[in-house]
Amino acid sequence: MRLVLFAALAVLISSPAAAAKPKKCFSLPEIRAEQEIRHGIYLREAAKRCDGRYLRGSNDMWQKFEAANATKFKAAMDKRKRAWEREFPDDWQYKINYADGRLVTYDRNVPLTTGFCENIDELLKEVDKRGYGGFSGQAKLIHNEVIDDYKVCQ
């Protein structure tokens, strides 16, 4: 009985990522998830900043899109988290928070101008019209520095 209890406790304590060895690269689906999450952070922050002063309703437009695609965002976040846990087992949470914070800090320091907000408006209108597929396409083009940051597995 004790053996079964200890075995069950060991299963609960260990996570699936703890068993996975680092690959020293991200798979293409993991890269895509990273791009989507980063692009989402960027659009969220930009929509908040532009809302009211340069664009009416940009934050609401983003919130509506995010809510409509919550399942897809969750799947991308879960895939991203598993990759980070595997690649950085000792401090993945710190590193992922740093990466996200770096992006938020960057976005908040881009000068808020009419041109910047017009660009954000175009991006938001495109994702509103084309859905998550359009959003994912934007993420591949706009935030391609993910491929510079992380090695893609061959």
Q: Confirm whether 5 is domain-assigned.
A: no
Residue 8 lies in a domain: no
Q: Is 57 contained in some domain?
A: yes
- Give the ranges where the chain is alpha helix by DSSP (H): 2-13, 16-19, 28-50, 58-68, 70-87, 92-109, 114-142, 145-149
**Rg for the chain (alpha carbons), in Å?**
19
Residue 81 to residue 66: CA distance in whole angstroms:
19
Each residue's pLDDT tens digit, 64-115: 999 999 999 999 999 999 999 999 999 999 988 988 888 888 888 888 999 9
Q: Which letter, b or e, does each residue of 17-41 get, where b requires 16 or more Cβ atoms within 10 Å of its Cβ? A: beeeeeeeebeeebbbbbbbbbbbb
- Backbone CA torsion sign across 39, 138, 51, 76: negative
Query: Is 14 contained in some domain?
Result: no
* Residue 51 in domain: yes
pTM score, whole prediction: 0.81
Q: Which domain holds residue 62?
A: 26-149
Residue 78 in domain: yes
Asked if the structure places residue 7 within a domain, the reply is no
Number of domains in the chain: 1
pLDDT digits (tens, 9 = 90+) for 15-42: 444 457 888 889 999 999 999 999 999 9
Query: Is residue 141 in some structural domain?
Result: yes
Distance, C-alpha 11 to centroid of its chain: 29
